Structure 1
Amino acid sequence: MTTPWPYPFWIAHRGAGKLAPENTLAAFRLGAQYGYRMFECDAKLSADGVPFLLHDATLERTTNGHGTGGDLPLGALAQLDAGSWHSRAWAGEAVPTLEALARFCIANGYFLNIEIKPTPGHEEHTGRVVAQTAARLWQGHAVPPLLSSFKPDALAGAQATAEHLPRALLLDTLWDGWATVAQQLGCVAIVCNHALWDAAQVAQVKALGMHTLSYTVNDEWAAQRLIDLGTDGIITDRVDLFCPAR
């Protein structure tokens, strides 16, 4: 039996896709201005164990910093410029903590998909700390965040720490044994590269009692194909193209 699904169909990738610097509070505010009520973000740990938002292991692409993000303490990360790389309009945007984003979402009634994106070698520990942090911040709230990861060890850490938080396995390929692993991890959803979904794959996942989500869908034809397949959610960069009212 499929678990209840409280989340919106449309999910804004890293806040507002490519319209603002990803994983900054400015991006989530912009996504909200386009009507989105659910966001996806990437969370990893600082050197002093605080969950913060960054997609890459390294800092160069999306900040003016250098090296591995997880090697810096939060105080050093807070000094970085995470907006100038995108455009001058966003110069000076900070690297936010997961707690800062959580407070924004909770205050406004928004939903969140936290992708656990560990610094390599810190998978299980990152899963534990992110789950512990999310459980604390959303305590008493009806709809907790969805925790997802490509790394089963990260999801195992989350499961061991806060089993009540919903989990999803991310897949970029259909590797052998993925379904068994997802069941062992108690996942409520599979989040696939959108090209992997077909009718048989959707039916298999739903027969396992899980929901079907897709990343990163930026074309109308691709979105319509997934809607026709009966999938449960779409993560998109194109917050300016897709109306999230569905």
Structure 2
Amino acid sequence: MLQLGEQITLYSVVFVVVLLGTRSAVWSTVLTVSLYMFLAMFRFPQVPASRVQQVLHPAGAGSKVSVVAHRGGGHDAPENTIASIREASKNGATGVELDLEFSADGVPILMHDDTVDRTTDQSGPLSQMSFSELSKLDAAAKHRLREKFAGEKIPTLEEAVEECMKLKLTIYFDVKGHPDEAAAALKKLYKKHPVLYNSSIVCSFEPKVIYRMRQSDPDVVTALTHRPWSLSHFGDGAPRFSSLWKHHWMTLMDVVLEFGHHHVLWKLCGISAFLIQKNSVSLDYVQHWAQRGVEVVAWTVNTKVEKDFYQEVLQVNYITDSLVEDCEPHY
């Protein structure tokens, strides 16, 4: 539940902003009340805390803090492959974060980008490649350990999930887009493998994806993913757009998204966790979300110093590119 003080603050901000924009107290009141009614009517309740604990802090993990391999551990093995899942398990990961995408013929697969250029021996958009074509690519071609993992294939979602279940790894499904298709594919997967309700979480930068997932199956544990200024800047801080007006417009949209994630969208979606870029995490930030029944998971934590800090001081789950050594982040 939103605490009373936060509720008052939220609706006061909305009222003032609308008032400044419309110069009408009537319209400000109507729109503020409409927001309240919308949240009251269409929000999803959070999944019971006991089941969230099973997912985020599985029994037998050996520590209160779970360590999750980013894209399966993209530094230690070719990202989003069966090899990376096996390496993550061998190196002591509690779980793996896997990126869900689709081939041109609608097969759910593991892939971070919307093209195959960065990770395979070919090039082209996923939207123009069938799974039959994708299955012939070498997913290790651009990896630093490509000789060790030569010939590694792009797996289907089903293949990856079966491997994770066999290795008893928690799965963080990172949905890149396609809200309807992703929700349908994941719902089918959860019905086929009910164990996933207690061993996986669906995450996305896009609130629409999470809301659609909760509509499709309200029993699934979900999380919003957030990085400040993600609409206007790449992960390394470089501007996304050369056009000055577009850059400033998207910067403004970043401010709106930041407010929305932290004050409206988390409650509308009924999330259980908030995946946040590591530079934004502090003890106060963790406590802020804990008071709302939401756990913080940090990404991408790639040095021993950072890992010790998250493990011993913040005591929150973190996502890392490598379980074995310090490395640069994968954006």
Seq. identity, %: 26
**C-alpha deviation, 1:221, in angstroms:** 2.3
Question: Corresponding residue for 1:128?
Answer: 183
Q: Quote the residue 1:114 is aligned against.
A: 173
Structure 1 partner of 2:258:
175
State the partner residue of 1:146.
201
CA distance in 1, matches of 2:67, 2:316: 9
Q: Structure 2 matches for 1:5-154, cutoff 5 A? A: 5-6=53-54, 7-8=56-57, 9-86=66-143, 87-118=146-177, 122=178, 124-140=179-195, 143-154=198-209
Whichever residue aligns with residue 113 of structure 1, its letter is Y
TM-score by length of 1: 0.89
Whether the 8 Å CA contact 1:131–1:165 is kept in 2: the answer is no
Contact 2:81 2:139 in 1 (8 A): yes
Aligned pair partner of 2:301 in 204, 217, 220: 217
SS at match of 2:72: coil
TM-score w.r.t. length of structure 2: 0.67
Residue 157 (structure 1) shift: 1.9
Inter-partner Cα distance in structure 1 for 2:134 and 2:298: 31
Q: Relative contact order, CA 8 A, sep 6+: which one is greater?
A: 1
Q: What is the aligned partner in structure 1 of residue 11 from structure 2?
A: none
In the alignment, the residues of structure 2 paired with residue 70 and residue 222 of structure 1 have an alpha-carbon distance, to the nearest angstrom, of 38
Q: Could you tell me how far apart the structure 2 residues matched to 1:85 and 1:182 are?
A: 37
Q: Is the 8 A contact 2:197 2:221 kept in 1?
A: no
What's the offset of the Cα at 1:140? 4.7
Distance in 1 (alpha carbons) for counterparts of 2:311 and 2:90: 24
- The aligned amino acid for 2:269 is L
Whole-Å separation in 2 of the counterparts to 1:161 and 1:25: 28
Q: CA deviation at 1:38?
A: 0.8
For 1:50 and 1:156, the matched residues in 2 are separated by 22
- More strand by proportion, 1 or 2? 1
Task: Considering fraction of residues, name the structure with more helix.
Answer: 2
Structure 2 residue aligned with 1:198 = 282
Give the RMSD, CA atoms, in angstroms: 2.0
Deviates more, 1:147-156 or 1:217-226: 217-226
Return closer, same or farther for 1:65/1:171 CA change in 2, 3 Å cut-off. same
- Cα deviation, residue 91, structure 1: 1.6
User: In the superposition, relative to structure 1, how do residues 104 and 84 fare at CA in structure 2: closer, same or farther (>3 Å)?
Assistant: same
Q: Check the 8 A contact 2:282/2:314 in 1, yes or no.
A: no
Give the deviation of 1:139 after TM superposition.
1.8
- Structure ID, larger Rg: 2
2:169·2:199 contact (CA, 8 Å) conserved in 1? Answer: no
Cα distance change, pair 142–45 in 1 and its aligned pair in 2 (3 A): closer
| Equivalent pairs, count | 238
Q: Helix, strand or coil for the counterpart of 2:49?
A: coil
- What residue identity is the alignment partner of 1:143? N
What is the CA–CA distance in structure 2 between the aligned matches of 1:215 and 1:127, rounded to whole Å? 23
Any conservation in 2 of the 1:127–1:155 contact (CA below 8 Å)? no
Q: Work out which of the residue numbers 310, 320, 325 in structure 2 matches 1:226.
A: 310
> 1:53 and 1:66 mapped to 2: Cα distance?
16
Residues in 1 aligned to 2:287 and 2:136: alpha-carbon distance in whole angstroms: 48
